[in-house]
Amino acid sequence: MFREPLLPWMVFLPLAGAFTVLFSPLRETGLRRLALLFSGVTAVLGAVAFAAFSPELSGFQFRFEQDWFTLPGLDAPLRLALGLDGLSVLLLALSAFLMPLILVSAPGHIRHRVREFLFWALLMEAGMIGVFAATDLVLFYFFWELSLIPLYFLVGIWGGPNRIYASLKFVLYTLAGSLVLLVGLIRVALEAGTTDIGRLIEADLDPGLQRFAFACFALGFLIKVPVLPFHTWLPDAHVQAPTGGSVVLAGVMLKMGTYGLMRFGLQAFPAGAVDWAPWLLLLGAAGIVYGSLLAWAQSDIKKLVAYSSVGHLGFVVLGTFAGNATALQGAVLQGVNHGISTGALFLLVGVLYDRRHTRAMDAFGGLARTFPAFAFLLVLTSLASVGLPGTNGFVGEFLILMGTFEQHPWLAALAGLGVVLGAVYMLGLCREVLFGPVTHEANRRLEPLRPREWAALAPLAALMLWIGLYPSPFLERTRFACFETAERLAPWLERAGEEARPPAPALPATPEPELR
Amino acid sequence: MIPTAHVHILAALLFGLGILGFLRQRNAIMLLMSVELMLNSANLSFLAAAREQGNVDGAMMPLFVLVVAAAEAAVGLALIIILFRKRVSLDVDLLRSLRD
Amino acid sequence: MPGPLTPSDWLLAAPLLWLAGGVVAILVLDAFRPAARHEAGLAFLALLGAAWSLWPLAEAAGEPLEGIPGLPVRAFSGMLEASPGNAVVGLLCLGAAALAGILSLRSLCRLESGRHRTALWTLLLVAPAGMLVTLASSHFATLFLGIETLSLPLYVLSALRRTEEGSVEAGLKYFLLGAFASGFLVFGMALLYAGTGRMDPGAVTAALEGGALARAGLGFLYAGLLFKLAIAPFHLWVADVYQGAPTPITALMAAGTKAAAALALLHWAPPAGPLGSGAWALLACATLALANLTALNQENLKRILALSGVAHAGLLLFALAALQAAPGSGASVEAAVNFYLVAYGVSALAAFGALELLERRAGGHAEASALRGLGRRFPVAGGILALAVLSLAGIPGTAGFLGKYFVFAELVRSGEVGVALLGILLTLWSFAYYLRILVVLYMKDAAPAGGPPAVQDTPAAVALWVPAVLVVLLGVWPAPAHLL
């Protein structure tokens, strides 16, 4: 009964909220509450979607369809088509869940032009939720770019001193990818005659088209993720972005890339995915090691967290293209985990920055004694980020490594090295910041965590433990989709394997039935 | 009777002269005259072709062209007068206030 | 042969008669009872009447052409020819003139204590008449007359601020180069006629099969048309003219002239085949690259937007390349071009209109340094300019995106995927300057206010909402107009 209108409401509420905030006569505090109300209701709907999602069903659930308009050259009209399946349900819930937390924590770092901030934040939320809910290719692209422009403004207006450069770089990189994606999209739409994602997946497109489309789409997604050679925009954007922007960027934006790789790369264009998988696996593994090494070398905490993202997302890419259901499931879950733990890390960095206006690691030390609540949260989040058993990170990384090991033991070993490196730099961070003597007087009088900071951090901490200790609600919701995707990939993998092997002895020629 | 080709050659020469004048001259009035020369060379071509084709379509065009040329001259001279009032010069090279 | 006017003659003549009637009425009124309000009223009445009489044709847009007898409409023994989609572009031209008029009410109308009022209103009616003729032209006579009728008023209107050096310079430059281009246009027509004996678009086909004379004529004809459309080697005048002309007039030029010239080019484009798509694609890429390269170094927002218009005209040529590569795609290419023109037109109107309002607040300056931070101080005008810029950039949710989508879809459909990739990456380049406008508006601290305080201009502020709403509406729900 509530299933059909659920997703449209989740997209519409933030959108309506954005414009309500823009034109509302309220002042600052009222506006913040209003925006929080809109995103809070959306988050509740997201929780409902997560809870009511039935793990046993194949295909899209909560489907909503409405004819939109017809593009020339296509038979079927474009549709405002929304739906959820195992690949998207977790990410959708995460996007809806993160935004209220960001709005709650925002007064700490967004002190001017609040109305505009709330407008862009809510608009971005609509875009992000739409990306995960869209089951029409063109609609997906609409939301994909709709979420980009708000982040441009968030970084460009409320960012650090180098914000204009960083935001421009971020937008140009992402757009380069999405424009190429657009050409691929146009060709797929014209040759398949449909833009419905479900039908595209079922359609078994021509392999040549699949390869072309995969190359176009993957470029867009790889830049967004970002995977190794395309990652240079990420540290700039993260360091310059305000805390809220960083949280969204790490928590959801990057996941749009990995989600796209799974949805389109694997599901719709498996032939292309199999062709490119070896390279992407290599890039993923290289990203893990490279990101970790760079993170290790940073002295700015935010940069460290930003580079750690490159490493974590390497894991996700590895799991995506490992070619089996276990790794894929791990990749889906790890995407969510990264959103939670890195989001929390950025919030924690924000907590420090609000108090000391610096993010240099050596400006801190001994906070475990002077700022115990913070220390507890930082340790917990670091452990989750490292993947200690009992936290969410462990479940995801373990599944990815296990799945990858079956097919590509060497890559799994390389990734395992990345886990170790991750532990080295994250624990190094904890040591520098939390332990040792208090070197700066200012650190003795740090203001304790405020209620709104607790309100933003505690739910994330709870989620880390929940997924770590009792992951089955999350895993069972993704299982079906992951297995189906892997099954769809299997024949292409086999075919690729056959081609790689020396050709089998020729079968006795069977005469072709002649057509008369 | 003069062969049509010869008329076209004359028209082309006049047209070329017009282009050359437009590109070489710096006096606004001379530029205007060069353009008129170009338009009129086209008229010549039209008339010659109309005579050869034996239909009036081509003979009609010069009328339009002449009317438009008159209008252009009116507008152009008005603009040139404004320029002259401001600058006391007709040199188009002085037109360089618009740039970044 | 000449007989009574047929219904289709009347259909295409009616808008022109409304506009011409408006001109006469204004001139007569001015002779007897000069009154500012009446002249403006008459001008808007004439524009409204023209739009009203064009509406029955425009209404059929979106229906498949084969289904309706008598379409496209051919009038005056085939000298004019218009499809419903062309009529919608015609409505855009009329709307552009109306918006230019509304933007002028409190500025250009009061210039030199209202001395140029009559000229302004009559010329604002003549220019769209020329545009309507141009975009429906299917004979040398109508093509030439249309282009001249739209150009001559614009030469004058560009120079309307005759006390300002920039305005005079813009008018004179536009005039000299425009007249030069007309020379090419007419001479090309003469040669085509001499070579083929025809004066309708069939001359183009015949010329491609004919001798050197006709081919040379074709070259001259296209040089003339490409000048009006401001395609690469002929685009140098655009930045200067757009910058120097009063901004309302710039808006009219950007939306109207470009649309009329583009449709004329489409009418007179060679049919698929001999010329090949390569030439058009090359021209398109060169235009995009040159325009983007130049725009990156501009300080003046009007110049940036002018060069963005050049880039958009270049993008439009991709549609012609698609037409060349895929014979028989004429109807859908025309639909794409029509939509693109309307999308670009409303975006450009919103952009220049909003810029005009901001410019007044900045003491008449359009330099980036003068407009710093104004997006915040004047949220409506700033927001509309930002929206228009996003549409020009082609962000989904705006008309510009679908325009871009349609053109590139035609290109991909014709098999030119490589060209499409190259073209779309060239558009990426343009984001650098579009985003710069947003930076100027929103990410810089406000400049100290300069100049005398601007007049409160309610009509303009209200009228600006129309193109702004259209930008969004055509972007998210193009159903009424998607198959122009």
Q: What is the pLDDT of residue A510?
A: 47
For chain C, the farthest-separated pair of C-alpha atoms sits apart, in whole angstroms, at 69
CA A172 to chain C, closest CA, distance in angstroms equals 7
Q: What is the pLDDT of residue A514?
A: 45
Q: Which residue of A has its CA nearest to C435?
A: A168
Of the candidates A69, A168, A187, which has its C-beta nearest C479's C-beta?
Answer: A69
Tokens of C126: 């003549």
Q: What is the pLDDT of residue C273?
A: 60
Beta-bridge partners for A300: A360
Burial class (CB within 10 angstroms; exposed 0-12, middle 13-18, buried 19+) of C250: buried
Of the candidates B35, B48, B61, which has its C-beta nearest C183's C-beta?
Answer: B35
**Is pLDDT larger for residue C22 or for residue A54?**
C22
Q: What is the pLDDT of residue A346?
A: 92
State the virtual CA torsion across A114, A118, A121, A122 in degrees, nearest 10: -170
Question: Chain C within 8 Å of A187 (Cβ-Cβ)?
Answer: yes
Q: Which residue of A has its CA nearest to C480?
A: A69
Count of A–C CB contacts within 8 Å?
91
Q: Which H or E element spans position A83?
A: strand A82-84
Cα distance between residue C195 and residue B45, in whole Å = 11
Q: Please check whether residue C438 is in contact with residue C317, taking contact to mean a CB–CB distance below 8 angstroms.
A: no
Question: Chain C within 8 Å of B29 (Cβ-Cβ)?
Answer: no
Chains A and B touch (3+ CB pairs under 8 A): no
Q: Which residue of A has its CA nearest to C444?
A: A157
Residues of C with CB under 8 A from a CB of A: 332, 335-336, 376, 390, 395-397, 401, 405-406, 408-409, 412-413, 417, 420-421, 424-425, 427-428, 431-432, 435, 438-439, 442-443, 477-479, 482-483
CA A297 to chain C, closest CA, distance in angstroms equals 32
Residues of C in contact with B28 (CB under 8 A): 172, 176
Q: What is the pLDDT of residue C62?
A: 60
> Rounded to a whole number, what is the distance in angstroms from the first to the last CA of chain A?
56
> Can you give the three-state secondary structure of C238-282, one letter per residue?
HHHHHHHCCHHHHHHHHHHHHHHHHHHHHHCCCCCCCCCHHHHHH
User: What's the DSSP call for residue C300?
Assistant: B
Characterize the bridge pairing of strands A82-84 and A61-64. Answer: antiparallel
pLDDT in tens, B15-40: 999 999 999 988 989 999 999 999 99
Q: Which residue of B has its CA nearest to C172?
A: B79
Residues A156, C479: C-beta atoms closer than 8 Å: no
CA B64 to chain C, closest CA, distance in angstroms equals 7
Q: C367 in helix, strand or coil?
A: strand
Residues B100, C199: C-beta atoms closer than 8 Å: no
Residues B98, C171: C-beta atoms closer than 8 Å: no
Helix axes of C165-196 and C202-209: crossing angle, nearest 10 degrees: 60
Residues of chain C with pLDDT under 70: 1-2, 61-70, 272-276, 447-455, 479-484
Write the single-letter amino acid at A151: L
Burial class (CB within 10 angstroms; exposed 0-12, middle 13-18, buried 19+) of C330: middle
Cα distance between residue C226 and residue C229, in whole Å = 5
Residues of A in contact with C390 (CB under 8 A): 149
Q: What is the CATH number of domain B4-88?
A: 1.10.287.3510
pLDDT in tens, A403-457: 988 888 888 888 888 889 988 999 888 888 888 888 888 878 888 888 888 999 9
Mean pLDDT score, A306-323: 89
The contacts found for B92-97 with CB under 8 angstroms, 24 or more apart, are B92/B26, B92/B27, B92/B28, B92/B31, B92/C172, B92/C176, B93/B26, B95/C169, B95/C172, B95/C173, B96/C169, B97/C165, B97/C166, B97/C169, B97/C244
Query: Smallest Cα–Cα separation from A244: which of A380, A422, A125?
Result: A125
Best probe of the C interface among A68, A147, A179, A187, by most C CBs < 10 A, is: A179
A508 backbone dihedrals φ, ψ, rounded to 5°: -60, 130
Residues of A in contact with C420 (CB under 8 A): 183, 186
Residues of A in contact with C427 (CB under 8 A): 179
Residues A190, C412: C-beta atoms closer than 8 Å: yes
- Residues within 8 A of C (CB atoms), B 37-56 only: 38-39, 41-43, 45-46, 48-50, 52-53, 55
Tokens of A169: 């770089």
The subunits that touch chain C, with at least 3 C-beta pairs less than 8 Å apart, are A, B
Q: A312 in helix, strand or coil?
A: helix
Peptide linkage before A511 cis (omega within 30 of 0)? no
Of the candidates B22, B61, B79, which has its C-beta nearest C175's C-beta?
Answer: B79
Q: C298 in helix, strand or coil?
A: coil
Q: Which residues contact A334 (CB under 8 A, 6 or more apart)?
A: A312, A315, A316, A319, A393, A396, A397, A399, A400
Residues of A in contact with C417 (CB under 8 A): 183, 187, 212
Task: Return the ∠ at Cα A347 (arms to A341 and A352), rounded to 5°.
Answer: 125
Residues across chain A: 516
pLDDT in tens, A242-284: 988 899 988 889 999 999 999 998 888 988 888 888 899 999 9
Residues of C with CB under 8 A from a CB of B: 140-141, 144-145, 148, 152, 155-156, 159, 162, 165-166, 168-173, 175-176, 179-180, 182-184, 186-187, 189-191, 193-194, 197, 199, 213, 239-240, 243-244, 297-300, 303
Cα distance between residue A375 and residue A373, in whole Å = 5
Tokens of A259: 């989600």
Res A506 pLDDT > 70: no
Question: Chain C within 8 Å of B61 (Cβ-Cβ)?
Answer: yes
Burial class (CB within 10 angstroms; exposed 0-12, middle 13-18, buried 19+) of C408: buried
Q: Which residue of C has its CA nearest to A189?
A: C409
Residues B72, C182: C-beta atoms closer than 8 Å: yes
CA C338 to chain A, closest CA, distance in angstroms equals 13
Burial class (CB within 10 angstroms; exposed 0-12, middle 13-18, buried 19+) of A357: exposed
Q: Which residues contact C150 (CB under 8 A, 6 or more apart)?
A: C127, C128, C129, C130, C131, C133, C134, C256, C257, C260
Q: Which residues contact A83 (CB under 8 A, 6 or more apart)?
A: A7, A60, A61, A62, A63, A64, A133, A135, A198
Q: Which residue of C has its CA nearest to A113?
A: C376
Chains A and C touch (3+ CB pairs under 8 A): yes
Distances from the Cα of C283 to the Cαs of A157, A281, C251, C334, C416, in angstroms? 38, 41, 25, 19, 15
Output the pTM of the full model: 0.92
CA C255 to chain A, closest CA, distance in angstroms equals 24
Question: Chain C within 8 Å of B98 (Cβ-Cβ)?
Answer: yes
**Is pLDDT larger for residue C2 or for residue B49?**
B49
CA B68 to chain C, closest CA, distance in angstroms equals 7
Cα distance between residue C377 and residue A6, in whole Å = 39
Query: Smallest Cα–Cα separation from A70: which of C70, C409, C398, C344?
Result: C409
Residues B39, C183: C-beta atoms closer than 8 Å: yes
Query: Smallest Cα–Cα separation from C205: which of C262, C143, C269?
Result: C269
Res B54 pLDDT > 60: yes
Q: Tokens 């869940």 map to which residue?
A: A97
Question: ipTM, 2 decimals?
Answer: 0.95
Q: Which residues contact A164 (CB under 8 A, 6 or more apart)?
A: A156, C439, C443
CA C180 to chain A, closest CA, distance in angstroms equals 39
Question: Chain C within 8 Å of A74 (Cβ-Cβ)?
Answer: no
Residues C180, B35: C-beta atoms closer than 8 Å: yes
Residues C297, B100: C-beta atoms closer than 8 Å: yes
